[in-house]
Amino acid sequence: DKGNHRHFMAKEIYEQPEVIAHTFSHYLDLAAETVSLPELPFDLAQIQHISITACGTALYAGAVAEYWLERFARVPVSTDIASEFRYRETPLTPGGLTIVISQSGETADTLASLRYAKECGQKVLAVVNVPTSTIAREADAVLPILAGPEIGVASTKAFTCQLATLACLSVAIGRAKGLLSQDDEHRLVRAFMEVPRLMTEALKLSPEIEVLSRTLAKAQDVLYLGRGTNFPLALEGALKLKEISYIHAEGYAGGELKHGPIALIDETMPVVVIAPHDRIFDKTVSNMEEVAARGGKIILVTDPKGADEAHVDAVQKLILPEMPATVCPMVYSIPVQLIAYHTAVIMGTDVDQPRNLAKSVTVE
């Protein structure tokens, strides 16, 4: 049932404030302002290394979590494409944890990676949406993301609920290792509790994004740029746009711009810059200046301070409320998803069932 939406994808984008609140309520003690994970069959304080593996959008959720885990728990993390991880005979450190992330819990390469990690004596934690799936059954422990059924082939609410679950896990490991103080934990939990409201605010950008999408729909190629946790979000934005609108898109880390992709930029090239006003904002401003100098059309997704301080000609600024950096990838997912959605609708593609794609990839 699509409710009053035209597509399942729209319904699933719009239900995110409610759904993510549900996920957070499962992993947080709201009264105590603490993270409270279910009992796990291994000691979080003893984890020496984490390997994260998944495919597609789930992989990008893992790539965001890598930043959180390294920051909050100071644990070395390697994030890898499941189809590469499984065949590379990746050496895995004893005492390591492997995190597999999957909406369906049936993705062939992710499942094979799980089995490989187990053979290597790793503990395996599955972050899945379908709790009865093969991946959930075979893992040592499961953290369900509780997004509810996702029907649209393009993953939306599963992505943000994966992020919510992984954010809670990162804080729990940081606390277990004594690297986050109780105050840090309270502060982070309060920030997580604001996410549903911030997402509701972000959804109000929809009419603006719809207008903007008329420009994007005319583009041959679109570049997405971000730094820090907004880099995996740039990759996710590009994936989402190509899979449902069939417009070619690439995501890059801002710092990589001058190492190649800058050659693509001319007056016909829209560049979506995902840049809240964070500690590396100035660096992103230099990237935007480089794009602007070559006539690239900047679409800046930022906050009021970022909009104020970015003295570049942007064709559009999409302005979100100010928020703590940790919650940005969850909230900034909303405009990223809406850009892809509205552009695809204008292109007239089959948004919920894009060509050549399946919701669950059970063969490699």
Could you give the 3-state DSSP secondary structure of residue 278? coil
Least distance CB 152 / ligand F6R (angstroms): 8
- Closer to ligand F6R by CB, 131 or 304: give it: 131
Least distance CB 102 / ligand F6R (angstroms): 3
Number of neighbouring beta carbons within 10 Å of residue 343: 28
- Closer to ligand F6R by CB, 44 or 108: give it: 108
CA distance 17 to 334: 10
- Closer to ligand F6R by CB, 17 or 152: give it: 152
**C-alpha torsion 252→257→261→264, nearest 10:** 120
Q: Which residue's Cβ has the minimum distance to ligand F6R?
A: 56
- Closer to ligand F6R by CB, 102 or 122: give it: 102
- Closer to ligand F6R by CB, 122 or 337: give it: 337
- Closer to ligand F6R by CB, 12 or 278: give it: 12
In the complex, which residues of this chain contact ligand F6R (CB under 6 A)?
55-58, 102-104, 107, 110, 154-155, 239, 243, 360-361
**Which tokens in the block code for residue 264?**
């693509």
68 HSE (CA, 13 A, CB side) = 28
Least distance CB 169 / ligand F6R (angstroms): 17
Least distance CB 283 / ligand F6R (angstroms): 28
**DSSP secondary structure letters along 211-242:** HHHHHHTT-SEEEEEE-TTHHHHHHHHHHHHH
Type of residue numbered 355:
R
Type of residue numbered 223:
L
Least distance CB 234 / ligand F6R (angstroms): 15
Least distance CB 12 / ligand F6R (angstroms): 11
Least distance CB 110 / ligand F6R (angstroms): 5
Type of residue numbered 80:
D
- Closer to ligand F6R by CB, 222 or 319: give it: 222
Vertex 47: Cα angle to 232 and 193 (nearest 5): 50
**C-alpha torsion 67→71→73→74, nearest 10:** 100
- Closer to ligand F6R by CB, 52 or 189: give it: 52
* Size of the chain, expressed as the number of residues it contains: 364
Sign of the C-alpha dihedral computed for residues 104, 105, 106 and 107 taken in this order: positive
Least distance CB 360 / ligand F6R (angstroms): 6
Least distance CB 259 / ligand F6R (angstroms): 26
**Which tokens in the block code for residue 100?**
């597999």
**DSSP secondary structure letters along 101-162:** EESSS--HHHHHHHHHHHHTT-EEEEEES-TTSHHHHHSSEEEE-------SSS-SHHHHHH
**DSSP secondary structure letters along 285-313:** HHHHHHHHHTT-EEEEEE-HHHHHH--S-
- Closer to ligand F6R by CB, 117 or 265: give it: 117
